[in-house]
Chains A and B, each alone.
Chain A
Amino acid sequence: MLIRDLARIAMGGLTVNIGRSMLTILGIVIGVASIILIVSVGNGAQRLILSQFEGIGSRVLVIQPGRQPQGPSDFFEFFTDSLKERDVKALTVRGSVPGIVDVAPVVAGNFSVVWRDESKRATTFGATDIFADILDVSTASGEFFTNEDVRQRTSVVVLGYKLNQDIFGDSDAIGQVVKIKNVNFRVGGVLPKKGNVGLLNVDDVAILPYTAAQEYLTGTDYFQEILIRVENEDVMPRVEEDVKNLLRMNHNITDPAKDDFHVMTPADVASRVSTVTGILTAFLTAVAAISLIVGGIGIMNIMLVSVSERTGEIGLRKAIGATNNDILKQFLLEAVILTASGGVIGMILGNTFSYVLSLALSYFLDVSWKFVLPLQAMAVGIFVSTIVGVVFGIYPARRASRLDPVEALRYE
């Protein structure tokens, strides 16, 4: 039998009962649509995160307390108090590590910023004057605090865009005095709208000299992070090694396995985040794939019903010369056309949802979420739905092909 005729016969079998055919493929449509949606949104999220890390710049090293985290159990390593003033001093000494441009210790905390009746919880960063450069922001109004402020422990604070909006609304915040942990801080500057840099939403933060943060807020003498800016990307690996050696010397560590700190680049963080979103995407895709199997079982059921309904037709076709193979191919092709068209429809729906979602996220969450056309997932979706048709179509098709023509003709 000619392929074209076979296709026409199979299509004919499906279009005679178009309503049922559409309902039959619903499972496949939903399965493929969810896979496309998940992969597309996953890719979008990954791309967003990576783009935010690009904002930090590729010339920054991050030193964090505790050994290199190997898994969730190392979470508490972050609370180690191993990074102290002397480390900053050692790194700052000119020539101690060639290639270092700036050293910026960070004291992180979470406190309420209070002005009159307004109170707003904020991530507070005790930092130095170069913190603004590393975040790549300059104040929208007022001024960032200076190195002198850091040395003097001046109680001055710079507010993120949204934090300022929440507390002061439209009134001018510069020069106003806010209370943080009952200590008065003068608002020295307000940052422009910036959004995320890395995983940090700059619009929500309050930044103050780290010396003041240690003295008035945390009461600690260690840092959650030390940021290091280097001359250029080429020296990064060497600087990283030198910094490690210097800190080991400072901490009297001889065995690198016993490090009480670790050094990361933004690329490391980004790749770690990518890994997590990748695993999540894969897991969700696997869950969605189960619905494809369920959809396939649905197709098999309907095909079995169809075979028994069309027993008379099968008998006739055999009587006038269709071989068992012709019948097998006809019903198998019907199943494959069903699942493959389900795959195509699911693909269109999934991409449409994903596109609408990307618009909605960009609009409501105010992030530059880009719609990603998941070409690989689309290819896999079409391939898998076709395979589902073959796998779940073969049993009904074999049954049809093996019908006894005499029995089949007698069927009414």
Chain B
Amino acid sequence: MKAVDSFVEKVRNDINVIAVVVCGSLSYDVVWDKSDIDITVIIRDQKIDNYAYCIIEDGITLSVELAPRSKFKRYLESSGSLGGSFTQAYFSNAQLVYTTDDSLYECFEEIKSIGIGDIPLTALRIAADLLHFRAKSLKWVKARKDPLYAQYFLLMAAESVANTELCLQGIPFSRNGIQKALTQNPELMRPFYLDPMSRRLSEEEILATIHKIDDYLTRNIDVLKQPVVEYLSDRDLKTMTMINKHSHSAGDALSYVFDFLAEKGIIEKVSKTIRLTPKSKATVEEIGYLYVG
């Protein structure tokens, strides 16, 4: 913290600097002398060429990022709309070590938790990852007959389970999601993390764990379905292209979770005739979903 203090002392007299925010592990975790320190400096609105510097202070590397105030606020307030994004996790643990602007305290206070309205959307995104790892694990154990590699995918799924669990409680999560979830609910994490980390699982155990993923998602299906049902509530057929465009995502990531909801009978999986290019004569069928209600 000495390095941070001496950095703050230096910029205190700079009227362009509005706040110094310590992010990353220093703000909440144990650090050692090899750690660098992530710092965001909020500056007066202005156009600058370089937004990132590596500063040396008291022998410690400070990774400093500059953020003009208005842009920073807009970024922070919108971050939640993408559902507990990395930005929120990154700044939720941040520490405001110096500021000339009191309103920033409120800002940081607000992002310490995920808003109730943002929880379902965030959970939906993590569930999409979780279902992706589930599918991979199932493939490697059943089709490829390689339980060890399937176990590796289960471990990857563990982080998604941990993040979903935290998200459902409104807690922003980052790289330490598994540790946090372990302290909160070790029994939940056992089959996904503690067991696969401690020994080699049999094929039956792997299939049972996969089944537990299904159970876990089914238990929380009311939260997961909420944004989907809301989006499909106009009862128009929505193709994957429209879904991706609406949710600013790409590829088939969300189709896993839409398929899951369709399997559970909440929505209907259908298809729509499209042309690949505006001039194409041939038609193909694109996956689409419909809420029948």
Do A and B belong to a common assembly? Answer: no
